[in-house]
């Protein structure tokens, strides 16, 4: 049982769950005087189907990555040691099939194809990433960073389907009232998560150079060198702060709470200090940047709750 939990990356699944719960909580918290249509059972189904796709993606990634993992992290290998490769493929199919069935039900019930379309896109992206794109320069990193961002977007789209529709199940009626919620902060968090995870993936590729060399993966560190790749990852970490500045200058976008302002400001200082440390002690930042990215991601998601 424990090897299987390691295979599906239970920590990553926990972060996805927290993210999706955070979106629903944030919209209710920031709109206390709005009548928000929300079906907790269906949202629970959406969370479950998303987790199934993510778990299936982790399984198939380990399946295609087995050769490199024997070099990069031999002590962490699960497939072929605890679980057969044939079972991994079967688990991938079952999980994806169940997720698609849930998405089909939600799309049928709400007469909206967004759930099926997003699930199909996610399944195919994870498969092609694991089988082909992971070895392509930058493409694999971008795909893997975009999927967590898509989770936050999908959660918002669920709320939009329920609250901004003219279908009979919806509370929206043109002659009475409608609920239009502000999703901009959620999208902002999603885009920031994309930048942070993209930076994290480049650092991961630096550490995986030995195994990537064996499978001839065309990764950024192998293409431009370790030092330049590390600098690129740190430059990407500066983008959330730049995005906020641009939004503040050209739109009426504002952070929703003092906690969010404090968090964004603190993280941006941390990112700048990381850049400075790169010039002073690059080996230190190489060892810590992975943890900095994880910390920033979790702290950023916490802004949905406070």
Tell me: do 91 and 211 sit in the same domain: no
Tell me: do 303 and 224 sit in the same domain: yes
Tell me: do 68 and 11 sit in the same domain: yes
Does residue 172 fall inside a structural domain? no
Tell me: do 106 and 10 sit in the same domain: yes
Question: What is the CATH classification number for the domain harbouring 72?
Answer: 1.10.357.140
> What's the helix, strand, coil split of the chain in %, to 5?
75, 0, 20
Which string of b and e fits 220-259 if b means at least 16 CB within 10 Å?
Answer: bbbeeebeebbbbbbebbbbbbeebeebeeeeebebbbee
Tell me: do 211 and 304 sit in the same domain: yes
Helices vs. strands in the chain: H and E counts, helices first:
14, 0
Pairwise CA distance, residues 60 & 51, whole Å? 14
Does residue 153 fall inside a structural domain? no
Q: How many CA atoms within 13 Å lie on the side-chain side of 176? A: 7
* Of the residues 99, 121, 147, the one at which a domain ends: 147
Q: How many domains does the chain have?
A: 2
Pairwise CA distance, residues 59 & 69, whole Å? 13
In this prediction, residue 173 carries a pLDDT of 46
Contact 132, 66 (CB under 8 A): no
Domain that holds residue 18: 1-147
In this prediction, residue 26 carries a pLDDT of 93
Distance of CA 217 to the CA centre of its chain: 23
Tens-binned pLDDT, residue by residue, of the chain (306 aa): 566 676 778 888 999 999 999 999 999 888 877 777 888 999 999 999 999 999 888 888 766 665 555 555 555 555 555 666 677 778 889 999 999 999 999 999 988 889 999 999 999 988 888 777 777 777 878 888 899 899 999 999 999 888 876 555 444 444 434 567 889 999 999 999 999 999 988 888 887 777 667 666 677 887 888 888 888 888 999 999 999 999 989 998 889 899 999 999 999 898 888 888 888 887 787 778 878 888 888 999 999 998
Tell me: do 140 and 194 sit in the same domain: no
Tell me: do 38 and 127 sit in the same domain: yes
Tell me: do 20 and 140 sit in the same domain: yes
Question: What is the CATH classification number for the domain harbouring 187?
Answer: 1.20.120
Does residue 247 fall inside a structural domain? yes
Of the candidates 230, 221, 224, 223, the one whose C-alpha atom is nearest the C-alpha of residue 278 is: 230
Does residue 155 fall inside a structural domain? no
């Amino acid at each position: 049982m424990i090897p299987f939990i390691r295979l599906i990356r239970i920590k990553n699944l926990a972060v996805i769950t927290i993210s999706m719960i955070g979106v629903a909580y944030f919209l209710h918290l920031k709109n206390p005087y709005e009548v928000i249509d929300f079906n907790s059972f269906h949202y629970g189904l959406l969370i479950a189907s998303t987790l199934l796709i993510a778990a299936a993606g982790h399984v198939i990634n380990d399946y295609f990555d087995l050769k490199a993992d024997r070099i990069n992290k031999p002590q962490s290998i699960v497939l072929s040691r605890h679980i057969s490769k044939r079972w991994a493929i079967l688990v991938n199919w079952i999980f994806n099939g169940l997720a698609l069935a849930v998405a089909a039900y939600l799309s049928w019930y709400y007469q909206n194809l967004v759930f099926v379309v997003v699930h199909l896109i996610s399944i195919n992206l994870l498969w092609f990433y694991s089988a082909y794109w992971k070895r392509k320069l930058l493409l694999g990193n971008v795909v893997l960073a975009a999927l967590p961002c898509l989770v936050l977007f999908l959660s918002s789209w669920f709320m939009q389907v329920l609250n901004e529709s003219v279908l009979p199940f919806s509370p929206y009626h043109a002659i009475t009232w409608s609920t239009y919620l502000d999703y901009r902060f959620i999208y902002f968090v999603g885009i920031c998560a994309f930048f942070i995870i993209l930076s994290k993936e480049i650092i991961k590729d630096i550490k995986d150079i030995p195994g990537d060399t064996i499978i001839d993966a065309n990764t950024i560190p192998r293409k431009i060198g370790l030092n330049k790749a590390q600098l690129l990852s740190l430059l990407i970490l500066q983008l959330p702060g730049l995005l906020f500045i641009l939004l503040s200058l050209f739109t009426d976008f504002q952070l929703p709470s003092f906690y969010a302002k404090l968090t964004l400001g603190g993280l941006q200082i941390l990112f700048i200090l990381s850049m400075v440390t790169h010039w002073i002690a690059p080996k230190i930042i190489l060892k810590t940047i992975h943890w900095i990215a994880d910390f920033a991601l979790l702290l950023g998601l916490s802004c949905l709750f406070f």
